[in-house]
């Protein structure tokens, strides 16, 4: 929990532009910031992370009001907006920097993530076992400013049209009751 009774979830599900676009639509989410976490290099930059040598994943820090949206609901949106069964890959984005990862900040988040993954695996709705990494959040590094609100600021980009639009459409359809 943070001082203002909000909670933060740090999640990686491929390119951070996709995950950021999805969470910017969810009621109760107060801020979303793209960045890097889970690696061994201090203050990494985009090109270092994309090179795969820092150990970091592209992630988003999602601040939310738990009285409006719970951590399990944040996880529900997370798992619906990427493929958690592909190791170190989301579509054409390949490498550990695109891994599916939940960087938890409390024992409660860790347990809720474990429970969610177990239920998802048992449901049989995924094409294979969930390979999402669970790791403690040690440090979050904000991405460079040009990555913030990429989807909103670059609606004509081919990446936005081909990769992000379908994810946004899926979340809009599946979670219409959770949208702003």
Q: Exposure string (b/e) for 7-38, b if CB count within 10 Å is 16 or more?
A: bbbbbbbbbbbbbbbbbbbbebbeebbbbbbb
Q: Is 50 one of the catalytic residues?
A: no
Tell me the C-alpha distance between 123 and 16, whole Å: 27
Structure tokens that stand for 167 in this block: 């994810």
Tell me the C-alpha distance between 46 and 151, whole Å: 17
Q: Which residues are catalytic?
A: 15
């Amino acid at each position: 929990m943070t001082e203002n009774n909000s909670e933060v979830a740090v999640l990686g599900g491929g390119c951070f532009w996709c995950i950021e676009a999805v969470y910017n639509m969810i009621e109760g989410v107060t801020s979303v910031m793209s960045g890097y976490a889970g690696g061994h290099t201090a203050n990494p930059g985009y090109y270092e992370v994309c090179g795969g040598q820092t150990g970091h994943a592209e992630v988003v820090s999602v601040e939310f009001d738990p009285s409006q949206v719970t951590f399990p609901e944040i996880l529900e949106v997370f798992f619906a907006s990427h493929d958690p069964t592909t190791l170190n890959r989301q579509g054409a984005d390949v490498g550990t920097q695109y891994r599916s990862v939940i960087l938890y900040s409390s024992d409660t988040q860790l347990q809720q993530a474990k429970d969610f993954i177990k239920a998802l695996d048992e449901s049989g709705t995924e094409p294979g076992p969930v390979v999402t990494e669970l790791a403690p959040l040690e440090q979050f590094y904000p991405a460079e400013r040009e990555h913030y609100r990429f989807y909103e600021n670059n609606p004509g980009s081919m990446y936005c049209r081909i990769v992000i639009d379908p994810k946004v459409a899926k979340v809009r359809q599946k979670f219409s009751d959770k949208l702003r």
